[in-house]
């Protein structure tokens, strides 16, 4: 059955490619290990402007994952503070261009616009949801942090994270599947985003 994972979460190692993305379906649980980049509204705006001007992004986007997070400062003995997802809809105006540039997955919370869902399917990519309100727990999966661009944006700077077993669930898959829509339909509600 699509969207089921009777053997537990699927293990994904970044960077992502078709072999890792295409077997996944809306509803599958995953754990990510490898490099994940952070970016929020201001960084997305700058990256999309760079693409429109023909400039390179601050990292090679091919196969990469962007986590929508603005982490809090690291407490003593930790590499990062709380690192919970922000609302993904804030990046919807920018996400299609970044998927087309090679991003293979984004992580956030909440549903996506029809334009983003189309871009996910067209680019054979994923949209993953992380648990909101669990920033301190999610931070425990982050092993290393390095600011790679836009340091002046503070928490919204682009960071390169090394993550290990970072948990998420597939919301939008490369086949056009949408977990939230499926849940709404099962509950008898209309499927508005």
How far does the chain reach from its first CA to its final CA, in angstroms?
24
Q: Which of 82, 102, 105 is nearest to 30 (CA)?
A: 105
Catalytic residue among 20, 25, 44, 46: 44
> CA-CA distance, 16 to 18, in Å (whole number)?
7
Measure the CA–CA gap between 126 and 128, rounded to whole angstroms.
6
Asked about 44 being catalytic, the answer comes back as yes
Name 158's bridge partners: 149
And the tokens for 53? 């001007």
Whole-angstrom Cα distance, residue 125 to residue 121? Answer: 6
Could you give the residue numbers annotated as active site?
44
């Amino acid at each position: 059955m699509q969207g089921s994972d009777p053997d537990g979460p699927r293990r994904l190692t970044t960077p992502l490619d078709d072999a890792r993305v295409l077997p996944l379906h809306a509803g599958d649980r995953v754990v990510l290990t490898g490099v994940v980049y952070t970016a929020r509204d201001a960084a997305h705006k700058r990256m999309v402007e760079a693409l429109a001007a023909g400039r390179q992004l601050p990292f090679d986007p091919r196969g990469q994952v962007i986590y929508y997070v603005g982490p809090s400062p690291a407490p003593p003995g930790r590499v990062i503070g709380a690192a919970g997802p922000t609302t993904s809809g804030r990046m919807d105006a920018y996400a299609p261009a970044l998927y087309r540039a090679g991003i293979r997955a984004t992580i956030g919370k909440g549903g996506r616009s029809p334009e983003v869902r189309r871009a996910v399917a067209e680019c054979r990519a994923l949209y993953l949801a992380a648990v909101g309100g669990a920033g301190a727990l999610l931070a425990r999966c982050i092993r290393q942090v390095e600011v790679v661009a836009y340091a002046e944006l503070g928490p919204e700077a682009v960071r390169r994270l090394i993550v290990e077993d970072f948990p998420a669930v597939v919301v939008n898959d490369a086949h056009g599947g949408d977990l939230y829509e499926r849940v709404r339909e099962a509950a008898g509600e209309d499927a508005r985003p």
